[in-house]
Structure 1
Amino acid sequence: MQSAINYLYSATNTVTQLHSSCNLSGSGQTDMVWMNYVLGSGQYGGTRCDVWWDDPYADRCDRFRAVVDKNFIDSATSNRENQYTKTACHELGHTVGLAHYDPMLPAPAEGHDCMRSGLWADGSAWTRTYNSHHIDHINAWF
């Protein structure tokens, strides 16, 4: 998880910090909680907003919960670390506004990135990075 956070910080305009506990105030910054959880739905991970900002007009999430289904990943591939890294990059992407894209589509002009859904545990660079299109979106939002 830490490598995905470090990459997001180094490749974009976001400001990231790793703390042992979350600020539960409901305003000011977005926290993200990582969990291992059995999703039981054929998903390697998932992200949802647990707490919205106190400001009703902000339409911003204060605390995301990102889940990685370790059991499902472990049963799907022997290259577990590669898929954990890909899933962490993917779920972290959702917390900064990125959406899925169909794994069956051809590579976009900028190339594939970790927001491509599915099992991609070969360790290719695109499985742990965002393409220039997604980086441009993240930088515009932050």
Structure 2
Amino acid sequence: MATNVTRRAGSRFSLAGLAMACAAALLLATPGSAYAFPDNGDSTLADNATHTYCYTSGFTTDASVGAYAMAVLGNTTDMDDLFPIDPPTCSFMETDVWWWELNLAAGVRGTRSCWLESPNGICTSSDLTLDYAELDVGAFDWEDRRKTAVHEVGHSVGLDHDPDCAMMSGQVPDATLQWRTYCADEIADINAAY
């Protein structure tokens, strides 16, 4: 049964889960691989292949970036994205992605944090936060907003940084689609995990 909750962006539900996730990351690391998966900072995976999402009441500057990022996940991987019709707002703690808009620290464009983590390294709900003032610094604002949204969704399903696609850090160097989608090896990792 779904439970209504109140929470703040960036808050943690389980600190004990962090210790379990670190232990799981050590056990899941494959010797000799290019990188470990999941490798998103807390080494968590999403709870299943259907990634639900909602917009918090303050996510108003450009909510289309959330739908764009979720569609990239749903259209390029074996995962599905689902925006709930009833209610369309963030009301259930089991919703996989809660979109937030906040003024983050200088230079921080977006963040992802696992809000509800199980002891076995599964993240049931992630907070994805965007700072539009930071995203709109420099050229290619439209592309930067979408790249960063796709990037944070990538972290919510287990991806780490990669310099060749949306998982790159920082501003996009140009307007090519490469920066707003996942690399082939990341898509393969997502498909294998979900």
TM-score (norm 1): 0.80
Q: Which residue type is aligned with residue 128 of structure 2?
A: A
Match of 1:96 in 2: 157
Displacement of 1:77 after TM fit?
2.1
Is 1:134–2:181 an aligned residue pair?
no
Instruction: Tell me the alpha carbon deviations over residues 42-99 of structure 1, each in whole angstroms, 9 at most, x when there is no partner.
Output: 111110011124xx3x32111100011111122x124221110010110010011000
Match of 1:87 in 2: 148
Q: Which residue type is aligned with residue 83 of structure 1?
A: D
Aligned residues with identical type, % of pairs: 30
Greater Cα offset, 131-140 or 118-127: 118-127
Greater Cα offset, 85-94 or 58-67: 58-67
Give ranges in structure 1 of 5+ residues lacking alignment. 104-111
Q: How does 1:1-142 map to 2 (within 5 A)?
A: 1-19=66-84, 20-22=88-90, 24=92, 26=94, 31-53=96-118, 56=119, 58-74=120-136, 76-101=137-162, 103=163, 112-120=164-172, 122-142=174-194
Displacement of 1:122 after TM fit?
2.4
Displacement of 1:135 after TM fit?
0.3
Greater Cα offset, 129-138 or 35-44: 35-44
User: Secondary structure of 1:16's match?
Assistant: strand
Q: Which residue type is aligned with residue 120 of structure 1?
A: V
Q: Which residue type is aligned with residue 114 of structure 1?
A: A
TM-score (norm 2): 0.60
Work out the number of aligned pairs and report it: 126
| Cα distance in 1 for residues equivalent to 2:187 and 2:139 | 30
Q: Which protein has the larger Cα radius of gyration, Structure 1 or Structure 2?
A: 2
| Cα distance in 1 for residues equivalent to 2:155 and 2:106 | 19
